[in-house]
Amino acid sequence: MSSTASGAAKPTVTVTLDGTNRSTTLPLLSGTLGPAVADIRKLYGDLGVFTFDPGYGATASCESKITYIDGDAGVLLYRGYPIEQLAEQSDFTEVAYLLLEGELPNASQLAEFRKNVTYHTMLHEQLRRFFDGFRRDAHPMAILCGVVGALAAFYHDNLDINDARQREVAAFRLIAKVPTIAAWAYKYSIGQPFMYPRNDLSYAENFLYMLNAVPAEPYVSNPILSRAMDRILVLHADHEQNASTSTVRLAGSTGANPFACVAAGIAALWGPAHGGANEAVLKMLGEIGKPENIPEFIRQVKDKNAHTKLMGFGHRVYKNFDPRAKIMKDTCHEVLAELGIKDEPLLDMAMEMERIALEDDYFVSRKLYPNVDFYSGIILKAMGIPTHMFTVLFAVARTVGWVSQWKELIEDPAQRIGRPRQIYSGAPTRDYVAVSRRD
């Protein structure tokens, strides 16, 4: 099979099946930014062949107006706005509005949105009982996944995905309730009373309050830590068609309700190659123990037979610095300074690891740079958040991205059920043989 692209007014790609006289001309689509995309939908009909792209590295699964990544340049835009500007000048609630609605809100739209999101922060009291059903040592991601899926059993008035108002309220409920569920999963794991949300606090402050406050003591929030948490939420809010977002879209394409779709996204996020990486970075640093052991660890990473990865490094799309990692590193220094932590061995080790890796040909030639998770774990640890909560925090932030992408999917008239094909490499057709006649 060979193909050529032509630069005529309406660009196309012509694909020819080598050795035959069969060919087809496919439209070449272009977005606002990014490379052109060959529309292969009629390839099978015209030539009888599928395309093969395991891991979807070269496949655009949908059209989206939400997030743009230029992996070579290290650029991340939410609705066109650079992540650096949003992390510096905006806050999570405003970013949530931007992702969902497409534009930055004016003052009254923002006030209305804040009111709607805070109005839904409480959980149905009966949902409290779900927590008791989990073992005390359950991973909070298991609890989050289960309880978010269970929301569908409590909010029947949000299950009609064809009703725009129901979709809107489901979005508010998910964005408002996931932090409460996440904080309660943590409180349950340490045996402390659940703290009810406080709607007078900002989104990030309220989340920290539900995690850290106890009924017996007054709670004083720290603006630097609240700001750091807000920034972590902004940086993780959306990231184009990553594994968990694609999972949400695939589940959504079947017509499943939004609570079930987000629970599916949480399950996909849990893996160490995706959201579980921040937890894995701290585990890795802990196991390395001291800077003297880094060269030996790097040697293992380069040994294919050792199956060891430098966690927090590498990305499917970024072949340059992950712009989120740079902001995260600065935030890490700010938080440690605020907390008066002058000497943090994990940070020293992470910086030394980064230095060594960025000079090593293995990482340089493969364009492996620190990703968002490399420094986030160190900040969260300094803020007193236990390691098993790191991925949960990622899920709290990403809920807004999942909901925005789900909403866009449902509102897209071109949307169909997601149903990839395969190369079948199993047995050819054969006849059944009775067990008595088998060797």
Residue 242 binds to ligand CMC (criterion: CB under 6 A):
yes
357 binds ligand CMC, rule: CB under 6 A = no
Q: Name, in order, each residue with C-beta under 8 angstroms of 336's C-beta and a sequence gap of 6 or more.
A: 342, 344, 347, 382
Q: Interface with ligand CMC includes 117 (CB under 6 A)?
A: no
The answer to whether residue 236 is catalytic is no
Residue type, 177: K
**Minimum CB distance to ligand CMC, residue 387 (Å):** 15
Q: Residue 354 interacts with ligand CMC (CB under 6 A)?
A: no
Output 141 or 210, the one with its CB closest to ligand CMC: 141
Confirm or reject binding of residue 198 to ligand CMC (CB under 6 A).
Answer: no
- Residues from 23 through 82 that contact ligand CMC (CB under 6 A): 55
Q: Is 146 in the site for ligand CMC (CB under 6 A)?
A: no
Query: Could you say whether residue 407 binds ligand CMC (CB under 6 A)?
Result: no
337 Cβ contact partners less than 8 Å away, ≥ 6 residues apart: none
> Does the protein bind ligand CMC through residue 301 (CB under 6 A)?
yes
Among 120, 315, 326, 407, interactor with ligand CMC by CB under 6 A: 315
Residue ranges in 370-399 that form contacts with ligand CMC under rule CB under 6 A: 371-373
Residue 315 bears catalytic tag: yes
Size of the site for ligand CMC (CB under 6 A): 21
Candidates 91, 230, 322, 373; catalytic one = 373
Stretch near ligand CMC under the rule CB under 6 A, chosen from 4-12, 86-94, 199-207, 367-375? 367-375
Among the listed residues 275, 323, 377, 401, the single contact to ligand CMC using CB under 6 A: 275
Tell me which residue has its CB nearest to ligand CMC.
314
Q: Please say which residue, 13 or 298, places its beta carbon nearer to ligand CMC.
A: 298
- Candidates 223, 295, 366, 411: give the one binding ligand CMC (CB under 6 A): 366
Catalytic member of 139, 236, 315, 322: 315
**φ/ψ of residue 63, rounded to 5:** -100, 135
Angle ∠(359,391,228) on CA atoms, nearest 5: 75
198 to 125, 184, 213: CA distances (angstroms): 16, 14, 11
Binder of ligand CMC out of 311, 378, 383, 395 (CB under 6 A): 311
Q: Is 312 in the site for ligand CMC (CB under 6 A)?
A: yes
Asked if 405 is part of the footprint of ligand CMC (rule: CB under 6 A), the reply reads no
Q: Which is nearer to ligand CMC, 15 or 281 (CB)?
A: 281
Q: Which of 314, 323, 377, 401 binds ligand CMC (CB under 6 A)?
A: 314
Task: List contacts with ligand CMC (CB under 6 A).
Answer: 55, 239, 242, 273-275, 277, 301, 309-316, 366, 368, 371-373
Instruction: Please identify every residue annotated as catalytic.
Output: 315, 373
